[in-house]
Amino acid sequence: MKLQFNETFAAVIVALLLLVCFCRQILQALAAVADICDKCSADWCDCRCIAALVRGDAPRRAVALYCLFLPITFNAVYFWHQSFSQFDWASSVVFVDFRVSASPHPLPHAPANASAPVAPVAPAFAALFALTAQTEVDCMFCVMPFALAASLNCWIWLSLSKDSADVLTHDTVWDESLPESLLYYELAYCAELLAVNFSFIAIACSGRTLYEVFYATFAVTVLESCFVCGARQRREGAVQRVTCAALTVLLVAVVLPLGAMLEHGCPVAEALAAVHVVCICTVAGMHFAANGEASASSVLAVRVGTTVLASLAHLAVLAHGRNRTCPGYV
């Protein structure tokens, strides 16, 4: 009998690691659920019980648990398909590689039975870009960095929001007076923006080079990070207003060309692109409107909301299967 290390063991190790790291949050969430169930056991249709579910800490802790266990959720969907699904559930993207070929012959994808004569090519135009390689990558490699970054970001947010830290409360104003310890959360959120932008662009723009995906990801992330870092400062002078206007124009100029990179004819790519645009506009617009006067609770709510929206979009793609919807991905 030969026992080999496979993905199942990796998932178990990740689950145990997260269970140890977030044991306290899990127990607190379970305690909150037990308390609500105890209060609602006398009269299950009591309106006050429903109000407690809406206003209390239960929604906040449920969202926190969802974000903390996002890597396990993605792995669970993958392993469920691998063990039980009977349809084409594979989800992959293709990165192409172009090389400069000095040969004047047609490209490899030209029809073999083409009868038209090939016109002579001038030496100055003899160099042609030829498709030399295609690398098929599972979508899990694109979404797992986002899942891990969202989990880490949520853990830092919970650490700053707990009673002992008392850094972020409902009444905290998101301005320059926040302590320096918040820098860790800001850096973690910028890393999450980098990961989520890469996941959306890589999956929606299958058939592009890896350099194109990286450049587009970094460009969008840098501009979003400028809005994120500027949310704590008030725009009281003309210089600040002109800078924000210039950043807005640059963001639009960077986002619009992404439409040309999409895998056209693929409903999954178009749907993910729409969700990506919504997330970008929400993050940039909310931080632009904050202007050093917004509350920490509103800023965190918008950030976590966009994280949940992006993760649900990726979960839908993984659950449905990208390749069967976009058969021309190769």
Q: What value does the mean pLDDT of the chain take?
A: 76
pLDDT, tens digit, for every residue of 3-18? 334 566 566 666 666 6
Strand order in the sheet with 128-138: 128-138, 92-101, 208-209
pLDDT, tens digit, for every residue of 249-270? 888 888 888 888 888 888 999 9
**Residue 22 DSSP SS3:** coil
Spatial CB neighbours of 321, under 8 Å, sequence gap ≥ 6: 81, 87, 88, 89, 90, 91
Do the beta carbons of residue 193 and residue 229 sit within 8 Å?
A: no
List the beta bridge partners of residue 229.
Answer: none
What residue type is 42 in one-letter code?
A: A
Does residue 33 lie within any of the structural domains? yes
Does residue 76 lie within any of the structural domains? no
Q: Which of 58-67, 85-94, 138-147, 233-242 has the highest mean pLDDT?
A: 138-147
Provide the pLDDT confidence category of residue 45 given band limits of 50, 70 and 90: very low
> In what helix (H) or strand (E) does residue 241 lie, and over which residues does it extend?
helix 238-255
User: Looking at the structure, do residues 262 and 273 belong to the same domain, yes or no?
Assistant: yes
User: Looking at the structure, do residues 288 and 258 belong to the same domain, yes or no?
Assistant: yes
pLDDT, tens digit, for every residue of 297-311? 888 889 999 999 999
User: Looking at the structure, do residues 56 and 148 belong to the same domain, yes or no?
Assistant: no
Residue 140 has pLDDT above 70, yes or no: yes
pLDDT at residue 280, rounded to an integer:
94
Q: Please tell me the distance from the alpha carbon of residue 110 to that of residue 256, in angstroms, as a whole number.
A: 31
**Residue 110 DSSP SS3:** coil
What residue type is 245 in one-letter code?
A: A
Comparison of pLDDT for 284 and 164, the residue scoring more: 284
What residue type is 325 in one-letter code?
A: T
pLDDT at residue 278, rounded to an integer:
94
Does residue 6 lie within any of the structural domains? no
User: Looking at the structure, do residues 285 and 209 belong to the same domain, yes or no?
Assistant: yes
User: Looking at the structure, do residues 272 and 169 belong to the same domain, yes or no?
Assistant: yes
Burial class (CB in 10 A: 0-12, 13-18, 19+), 315: middle
Task: Write the CA distances from 97 to 23, 90, 103, 260, integer angstroms.
Answer: 45, 22, 17, 18
Nearest residue to 313 (alpha-carbon basis) of 278, 281, 266: 278
Look up the domain containing 229 and give its range: 137-320
Q: Quick one: tokens of 124?
A: 């100055």
User: Looking at the structure, do residues 195 and 280 belong to the same domain, yes or no?
Assistant: yes
What's the number of domains the chain is made of? 3
Residue 102 has pLDDT above 70, yes or no: no
User: Looking at the structure, do residues 127 and 195 belong to the same domain, yes or no?
Assistant: no
Cα 221 to chain center, whole Å?
11
User: Looking at the structure, do residues 158 and 298 belong to the same domain, yes or no?
Assistant: yes
pTM of the model: 0.76
Cα 82 to chain center, whole Å?
23
Does residue 107 lie within any of the structural domains? yes
